[in-house]
């Protein structure tokens, strides 16, 4: 893929070259630079559109994209300061990091649902979630497909340690192979793999968002301390991304997103359209605090989070997003999109 996945060694070299610069500072005058990590399989559409439309320049901020496809490496890069923000690594993974003592905080969103299909071979019977009982399901532990499906089964009365067997696999491609080869009955994968499922002769049996709406997919987060030192920088970033989100909803906006993502990630346009325009993927800059807390509580209920002393509300910052949105509304008091975003904020961040 274009701009191949950055190695942590290359990141370290870049940091050494900038060691004399203060946090979030840029070599180009006083304009701050933020390093944003994302997966090269889904990218960062707000970034691409904000850059294309000049919103980043107008807000006075530089963004350096860093592509890291492995969540573990992304969390390591964030905790060590090699990146400032991560955006496309789900919600469950960051919550597990927080539960394990990492001082990370969520401050915005990228996707609220992320097109994470559950699939099987054509001959596999599926008549509803009871069809999962007694079966083997291939997943990547800690990812959105894993946690959302387990949450759905838990709510349906399943003992997820006894009534179903989850086979933990490290890569989405290997999850698909485990199902295709018959090692597992079902599989669940991340955003962007619908075409490969179809091309492999398998079929999608469930879109989890149909049973758990707004379950919370990719959130934007940073180190809590760094966030406290750079609220105005993140406000600039969110202003640019909110403006990009508004642009997405204008006539032709999603076509532009497809074109930019195709170019930035060097992907076939058909593949990009399969997830960018999926009805099971919703891009949202809003933090969706309520959905994050709901996932945290659900992960506790089925044993993913055991520490009962951590207050998740201390790791969700909605004030920076609200300040960015309020400032845009002050500039454009009659704008229908920003008014709607305020209504959503009040509903989903109470």
Average pLDDT of 309-338? Answer: 97
Tell the CATH superfamily of the 8-112+215-348 domain.
Answer: Periplasmic binding protein-like II (3.40.190.10)
Q: Please indicate whether residue 213 or residue 26 has the higher confidence score (pLDDT).
A: 213
Q: Please indicate whether residue 21 or residue 225 has the higher confidence score (pLDDT).
A: 225
pLDDT value at 27 more than 50: no
pLDDT for position 24: 53
Q: Kindly write down the DSSP assignment for every residue of 44-59, as one continuous string.
A: -HHHHHHHHTTHHHHH
pLDDT for position 15: 37
Interatomic CA distance for residues 25 and 293, integer angstroms:
33
pLDDT for position 74: 96
Domain regions of the chain by residue span? 8-112+215-348, 118-206
Q: Where are the beta strands (DSSP E) in the chain?
A: 33-38, 62-67, 85-86, 104-109, 111-114, 118-120, 136-139, 165-168, 186-188, 203-206, 219-223, 281-283
pTM higher than 0.95: no
260-288 confidence digits (pLDDT tens): 999 999 999 999 999 999 999 999 999 99
Interatomic CA distance for residues 269 and 80, integer angstroms:
35
Asked: is 118-206 a CATH 3.40.190.10 domain? The reply is: yes
pLDDT value at 5 more than 50: no
Q: Which of 15-19, 30-34, 183-187, 235-239 has the lowest mean pLDDT?
A: 15-19
The sign of the CA dihedral 299, 301, 302, 305 is positive
Confidence of residue 307 (pLDDT cuts 50, 70, 90): confident
Contact 236, 321 (CB under 8 A): no
Confidence of residue 11 (pLDDT cuts 50, 70, 90): very low
Contact 185, 175 (CB under 8 A): no
Contact 211, 194 (CB under 8 A): no
Contact 350, 290 (CB under 8 A): yes
214-253 confidence digits (pLDDT tens): 999 999 999 999 999 999 999 999 999 999 999 999 999 9
pLDDT for position 218: 95
Structure tokens at 52: 């294309």
pLDDT value at 14 more than 80: no
The sign of the CA dihedral 246, 247, 250, 254 is negative
pLDDT value at 17 more than 90: no
Contact 112, 291 (CB under 8 A): yes
75-107 confidence digits (pLDDT tens): 999 999 999 999 999 999 999 999 999 999 999
Interatomic CA distance for residues 288 and 347, integer angstroms:
9
40-89 confidence digits (pLDDT tens): 888 899 999 999 999 999 999 999 999 998 888 999 999 999 999 999 99
Interatomic CA distance for residues 312 and 284, integer angstroms:
21
% of the chain with per-residue pLDDT over 70: 92
Interatomic CA distance for residues 91 and 89, integer angstroms:
7
Interatomic CA distance for residues 144 and 112, integer angstroms:
11
8-112+215-348 and 118-206 have identical folds = yes
142-182 confidence digits (pLDDT tens): 889 999 999 999 999 999 999 999 999 989 999 999 999 99
% of the chain with per-residue pLDDT over 90: 84
């Amino acid at each position: 893929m274009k701009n191949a996945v950055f190695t942590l060694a290359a990141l370290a070299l870049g940091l050494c070259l900038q060691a004399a610069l203060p946090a979030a500072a840029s070599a180009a005058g006083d304009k701050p630079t933020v390093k944003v990590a994302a997966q090269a399989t889904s990218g960062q559409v707000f970034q691409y559109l904000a850059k294309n439309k000049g919103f980043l320049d107008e807000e006075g901020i530089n963004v350096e994209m860093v592509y890291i496809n492995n969540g573990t490496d992304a969390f390591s890069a964030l905790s060590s300061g090699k990146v400032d923000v991560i955006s496309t690594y789900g919600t469950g993974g960051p919550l597990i990091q927080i539960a394990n003592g990492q001082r990370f905080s969520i401050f915005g969103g990228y996707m609220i649902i992320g097109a994470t299909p559950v699939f099987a071979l054509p001959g596999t019977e599926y008549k509803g979630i009871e069809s999962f009982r007694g079966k083997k399901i291939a997943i990547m532990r800690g990812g959105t497909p894993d946690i959302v499906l387990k949450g759905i089964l838990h709510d349906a009365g399943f003992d997820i340690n006894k009534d179903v067997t989850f086979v933990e696999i490290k890569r989405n491609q290997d999850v698909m192979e485990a199902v295709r080869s018959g090692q597992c009955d079902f599989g669940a994968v991340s955003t962007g793999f619908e075409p490969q499922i179809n091309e492999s002769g398998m079929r999608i049996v469930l879109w989890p968002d149909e049973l758990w709406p707004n379950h919370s997919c990719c959130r934007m987060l940073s180190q809590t301390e760094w966030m406290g030192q750079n609220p105005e920088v993140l406000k600039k970033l969110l202003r640019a991304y909110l403006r990009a989100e508004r642009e997405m909803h204008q006539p032709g906006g999603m076509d532009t997103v497809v074109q930019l993502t195709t170019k930035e990630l060097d992907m076939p346009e058909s593949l990009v359209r399969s997830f960018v325009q999926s009805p099971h993927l919703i891009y949202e800059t809003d933090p969706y605090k309520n959905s994050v807390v709901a996932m945290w509580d659900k992960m506790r209920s089925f044993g993913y989070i055991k520490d009962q002393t951590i207050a998740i509300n201390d790791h969700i910052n909605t004030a920076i997003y609200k300040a960015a949105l309020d400032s845009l509304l002050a500039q454009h008091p009659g704008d229908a999109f920003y008014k709607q975003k305020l209504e959503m904020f009040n509903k989903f961040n109470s």
